[in-house]
Amino acid sequence: MGFVLLPQDDSNNLELQRMAVLNFDSFIPIINQAEDAGGIWDRKEKLNGKNFYKRVAKGGQETRKPKGPLDNLIKLSQIMVIRRERHLNTTLKKKGGKSMQVKRREFLKTGVATLGAASLGLMAAGVGQKRGVAEAAAVPEYKLYALKYAGPFTSSVAMVFFNKEWDKTIARNYYIWAAQGGGQTVVFDAGVRPALAAERKLGGYVPPDMALARIGIDAKKMEHLVISHMHFDHNGGLELFPNAKIYVQRKEYDFWVYDPISRKPPYAAVADAVVNKQFGDLRGSARLVFIDGDQKILPGIELLLTPGHTPALQSMAVNTAKGLAILASDCAHIHRSFVEDNPSCLITDLPAWLNSYARLREKVQGNCSMLFPGHDKDMLEKYPKVAEDVTQLV
């Protein structure tokens, strides 16, 4: 284990500048050299920044070293270890014995490693804070769009809100989403391919690439396509994005492409076997990007593992002018689920799903208005319209 050093301004200390990656053991020779020279590092009465320490060699001659910031931190570690050494020497005089001397040096090595790590941590934190401010300023703010490509469809409320209100009906739409900012466009989900839409007789269907064209996005030129999960209405339009990198959770992919359970009726009913074969054919291609858990894919865009509806559904957290917004796809079919902890009836892992809700709420600091579900008609009806069947969410 080591520390990665950020760019250093200690131009006088070439030895330390060469330590791009510094292991704890690198500190051990420093204290050994000091002992071998017959001297110790001692603290001055005033730690004035420039003359932070001095080396007292045999004969009482004082020599000073370059006073770069990293140099000072390492010598501070030595000072603290020597103070610890003196305490040990007092103990050794009482007990005496060669074996105790060996233990003392081993103890010193451990102490140097620990204190060196702490010193570097302080330095990295200081530089890191400056770098963090610059990076935060560089993170783009994205605009989020919901694009309806099919619907509305009517079903019992109980379908999208587990085991509740069987006697009531609710309308739902099929969507894909787009995030634009900082010169980047990311499409979230691919919709349904035209052939399957005709086979299933989807009402109100518009090919997803045509829906994107309404806001000036060319699906054939898209570079980034995130697949939330591998149900037919979310991954089925893969063929419409021939040049995009495709981001999918590895666990999700492996289940739908390889696991025989995914061919059983409950799963087969919501899958597109043709497209899942296309996904299988992409394995090993540079276009297919496997995600394992949470992962940032672009500045201001992070994919979040939010399982429950499927084995490894992923949501997309996006930096916006209003703060963090999360496109959650079918982690919730309707927005009500985020608030009331009740998912749809299409469940793979219920405990995991409920944990995903808690996690998403925590991510947006309880502001559930920044969580966007997979099929809620309100995304079309309660947000500003920017094109036919396209609204701007944030």
**Per-residue three-class SS string for 178-206:** EEEECCEEEEECCECCHHHHHHHCCCCCC
325 vs 281: CA distance, rounded Å:
33
Please give the Cα distance from 15 to 1 (Å, whole number). Answer: 20
Alpha-carbon radius of gyration of the chain: 30
Find out whether 65 and 12 touch, Cβ atoms under 8 Å: no
Mean pLDDT of the 380-385 span: 98
pLDDT band at 138 (very low <50, low <70, confident <90, very high): confident
pLDDT of residue 126: 55
C-alpha distance from residue 237 to each of 56, 279, 299 (Å): 74, 11, 26
Q: Measure the CA–CA gap between 214 and 207, rounded to whole angstroms.
A: 11
Task: Please give the helix or strand (H or E) that residue 381 lies within, else none.
Answer: helix 378-381
Asked if residue 304 has pLDDT above 70, the reply is: yes
Burial of 175 (C-beta count, 10 Å sphere; 0-12/13-18/19+): buried
Euclidean distance between CA atoms 360 and 325, whole angstroms: 10
**What would the two tokens of residue 20 be?**
């791009």
Cis peptide before 152 (omega within 30 of 0): yes
- The pTM of this model reads 0.68
Phi and psi, residue 312, nearest 5°: -150, 55
* Lowest pLDDT segment from 1-5, 37-41, 268-272: 1-5
pLDDT at 128 over 60: no
pLDDT score, position 115: 47
Please state, as a whole number, how many other Cβ atoms lie within 10 Å of the Cβ of residue 152.
15
Say if residues 334 and 289 touch (Cβ distance below 8 Å).
no
Tell me what pLDDT residue 121 has.
52
User: Is the pLDDT score of 370 beyond 90?
Assistant: yes
How many residues are recorded in the chain? 394
pLDDT at 132: 52
Architecture in CATH of 139-392 = 4-Layer Sandwich (3.60)
Number of other CB atoms surrounding residue 242 within 10 Å: 11
Q: What is the pLDDT of residue 244?
A: 98
Residue 212, token pair as written in the block: 């994107």
Cβ(254)–Cβ(279) below 8 Å: no
What percent of the chain lies above the pLDDT cut of 90? 65
Q: What is the pLDDT of residues 193-230, one digit of tens each?
A: 999 999 999 999 999 999 999 999 999 999 999 999 99
Do the beta carbons of residue 190 and residue 238 sit within 8 Å?
yes
Residues of the chain with CATH 3.60.15.10: 139-392
**Residue 88 corresponds to which amino acid?**
L
For residue 124, the SS3 value is: helix
Check residues 124 and 341 and name the one with the higher pLDDT: 341
Counting Cα atoms < 13 Å in the Cβ hemisphere of 176 gives: 35
